[in-house]
Amino acid sequence: MTHASPADIAHLDHAIALAQSARDRGDHPFGSIVVAPDGTVVEGLNSVVTRRDPTGHAETNVVRAAAAALDAATLAASVLYTSTEPCAMCAGAIYWAGIARIVYAFGEDELRELVHAQEGIPTLALPCREVFARGGRPVDVIGPVAREGARTVHEGFWV
């Protein structure tokens, strides 16, 4: 497994800032970006509450936006950065989008220490690596990467 580069760290910090923005507007505290090889950045914030969309996770939102903005070859060569490890649904969206590398800050197992249910629904204990392992192509996963704010953006939210 590769390690996070200084550029990866900067992009993760951007995703964490987006997670704070999502929280500040009343959504779940998750943020993601897709960075294309030419440096183009596409942002995604969680919109579960504000759009009343249970599939409005930051990663699914950024995959939709990136797929609309980038051609398939560019999307496949891009990297998805996210504040928290993608859930099974988001991992599926990332896989189907053809994205071959993701980097995340806060682990799904760490999140489960803070939240056992979202809106009364128990969380899935299914790491993204397990979802990707079932696919027919490799997805390089870097994470968890310890970043200031990755945990604190969640603290006090899930009560």
Residue 159: the pLDDT is 77
Mean pLDDT of the chain: 94
59 among known catalytic residues: yes
Q: Provide the greatest CA pair distance for the chain.
A: 42
What confidence tier does 117 reach under pLDDT thresholds 50, 70, 90? low
Express each pLDDT in 60-101 by its tens digit.
Answer: 999 999 999 999 999 999 999 999 999 999 999 999 999 999
pLDDT tier, 158 (very low <50, low <70, confident <90, very high otherwise): confident
Nearest of 37, 36, 38, 35 to residue 18 by alpha carbon: 35
* Residue closest to 43 by CA, chosen among 68, 7, 25, 71: 68
Q: Which of 59, 85, 110, 119 is catalytic?
A: 59
Sign of CA dihedral 85, 16, 60, 36: negative
With cut-offs at 50, 70 and 90, classify the pLDDT of residue 123: confident
Q: Do 27 and 48 form a contact (C-beta atoms < 8 A)?
A: yes
- 151 closest CA partner among 20, 46, 9: 20
Closest CA relative to residue 36, chosen from 67, 4, 7, 79: 79
Joined together, the tokens standing for residue 37 give 């090889």
